[in-house]
Chains A and B, each alone.
Chain A
């Protein structure tokens, strides 16, 4: 041990310290799983996004003096990593969290164990009032989350353009394609497909098996299925003809050159688009009295006009909460309270909350006709063969968007995207079937 060695060690360690950032935590795991008996002062930690923060603050106020509720705003991208970290550390979980929908399967898995099985903690009347809207949270026969909202796709269309061109609202996807082709040479488009909208508005409603969970260890993924190929066959000619835009509906160029110029004749999009994308002055800024929503066009051979979903957040209650019933009660309030949903852009998943929400939106003169009629019709038609999975579906959808943005055909982009799902699924314990 001499100075030379010490200085070498110091320098080597300084240079290598930075390399340790990615891999330095123990997999302590495990926990006592919490208990229904509260000990000490009753407290709840809730993680929300900025949109859901007012609901949390309202709950905080309603139980003040009884339960000490802390509302923390945590970005949606950070929630899963932070809960994984808590799992590793064996502490630090939030009692209730507002989460992206796909995480339901990850939290419900025994090895993760974050999500509380709600069967014993949530009144069955609450679940019943959801009708089928909470089916997304049903994992292996039990409910592990409560849907905050539904993001069912509908057909948004501009009544002024339809009248100008003498178009009729399509009720089948073949009619959709024919109507779109009538826009050729007019500068109008039938939407943009370079984002999650292609997944939620076309592949999912068609029944393309992207994450069709057969049982907890089997998932069906098959880009050669006819439910996928019919989407490429129908949509690629529209893209090639320029009547569907390859950019994202959120792309700055698309917004400035197409949407804000009122050149979008129709667009398959989720129920929250009206208030969040189409209407705001800093978004598409479509003027009052033009926009209406229709039911989804039906794919050939289907008896139902299915929807997909783009979004539709969930509330998850922690199985590690000190007082499980308190945490579950908070989850129910945050997921279902009608007053908290009345003025939000999203379609409430909980039916009693929806009625109050629809009463407001249905009378809004911004829309050419009541858009909630189509939304209600589609609420019970969210196609059930696309399910939450334990791999990062949300992130991989970005691969689909990127490939379309790169100029790949819809078929190639979807195949690349689904090939990545096939690669990921075994790593989290799924067997992939065709």
Chain B
């Protein structure tokens, strides 16, 4: 009896704690997704018979494939850079004395504050040869005009640079935090066994934070797949049209708000949602990130 009552209370408490989030989830995720699914199937100019025509319309749109390729190439550069630099810098941060790491952690976080339109302006001045402090360096590569740098073939690198500096600092500090969870005795034992700093970093620390890195990679990939702000702002302010419909999310925006085609926009968004959901499920079921939680649940 007591056991049942305790179980019941536990379930009620659990539900009460989860309820506020559930409410938000229904209001801002479930309802919009259902509405979007319904709109995407409605009859429209581009979907005369209703049904899945909008999905086909999007897949056949002349902007879809270039946007998909742009985003995939961007991820190909952005993800490994994030992984290598974040892992490397957080390991280095962890290896120096604690009193030095505080200002360094702050320094890593500063670029994360430069986002959106400010980031566009900062990077424009950094990369535009007329204004850039690096102009002499650019000149060595033959880049003397704005269009030598701001042109279609360089956009992937420019956006990777912008998003990297915006996101890397946060993750370095987070991964530094994950490194703090490694017991000192373990590192001490490795050193007693004769491991040098590099061996400790690569043989002990890195494997122990592997799951955090995988988690980061999945989240960063989800964010990268949805890249919007950087190409949108660059294209609508500094260089008109340079990155118009460059990413899939931009195409969705254009279809909805500049092309009067909400059905196609929702179809594209739902296709992106499926990919995102797949990534989320991979994190939950195919990584060991939540193993500890599972073990504790079993124990209870």
Pick the contact of A252 from B62, B130, B244, B300 — CB < 8 Å?
B130
A24 within 8 Å of B by Cβ? yes
Interface-side segment among A52-60, A137-145, A388-396? A388-396
A401-B240 contact given A3-B14, A4-B294, A428-B260, CB 8 Å threshold: yes
- Assess whether B242 is in contact with A6, with CB atoms less than 8 Å apart: no
A251-B254 contact given A6-B18, A16-B29, A19-B273, CB 8 Å threshold: no
- Assess whether A253 is in contact with B130, with CB atoms less than 8 Å apart: yes
Chain A residues with CB below 8 A from B272, complex form: 19, 22
Main secondary structure, interface of A, reads: helix
B114 within 8 Å of A by Cβ? no
Give the size category of B's interface with A. Answer: 35 or more
Determine the residue in chain B with the shortest Cβ distance to A424: B259
A84 within 8 Å of B by Cβ? yes
As a 0/1 sequence over residues 117 to 148 of chain B, the CB contacts with chain A under 8 angstroms (1 = contact) are: 00000000000111100000000000011110
Chain A residues with CB below 8 A from B62, complex form: 420, 423
- Assess whether B269 is in contact with A395, with CB atoms less than 8 Å apart: no
Chain A residues with CB below 8 A from B101, complex form: none
Q: How far is the CB of B259 from chain A (nearest CB, A)?
A: 6
A405 to B131, CA, bound (A): 19
Q: Which residues of A100-144 have CB atoms within 8 Å of chain B's CB atoms?
A: 106, 111-112
Chain A residues with CB below 8 A from B223, complex form: 18
Q: Which residues of A1-20 have CB atoms within 8 Å of chain B's CB atoms?
A: 2-4, 6-8, 10-13, 15-20
Chain B residues with CB below 8 A from A112, complex form: 260
Give the size category of A's interface with B. Answer: 35 or more
A253-B145 contact given A25-B262, A428-B45, CB 8 Å threshold: yes
A402 within 8 Å of B by Cβ? yes
Q: How far is the CB of B239 from chain A (nearest CB, A)?
A: 7
A203 within 8 Å of B by Cβ? no
B268 within 8 Å of A by Cβ? yes
- Assess whether A80 is in contact with B25, with CB atoms less than 8 Å apart: no
Chain A residues with CB below 8 A from B45, complex form: 111, 427-429
Pick the contact of B21 from A4, A10, A16, A429 — CB < 8 Å?
A10
Chain B residues with CB below 8 A from A22, complex form: 226, 249, 252-253, 256, 265, 268-269, 272
Q: How far is the CB of B4 from chain A (nearest CB, A)?
A: 15
A15 to B215, CA, bound (A): 11
- Assess whether A23 is in contact with B252, with CB atoms less than 8 Å apart: yes
A405-B244 contact given A19-B226, A22-B252, A391-B259, CB 8 Å threshold: no
Determine the residue in chain A with the shortest Cβ distance to B130: A252
B39 within 8 Å of A by Cβ? yes
- Assess whether B259 is in contact with A427, with CB atoms less than 8 Å apart: yes
A85 within 8 Å of B by Cβ? yes
Pick the contact of B39 from A2, A11, A26, A251 — CB < 8 Å?
A26
The 8 closest A-B CB pairs, nearest first, are A398-B241, A23-B269, A24-B32, A81-B257, A19-B276, A15-B280, A22-B269, A252-B130
Q: Besides the contacts A19-B276, A77-B236, what 16 more A-B pairs have beta carbons closer than 8 Å?
A: A16-B273, A19-B277, A20-B36, A22-B226, A23-B32, A23-B265, A24-B33, A25-B35, A80-B257, A81-B253, A111-B45, A247-B146, A401-B239, A405-B151, A405-B239, A429-B45
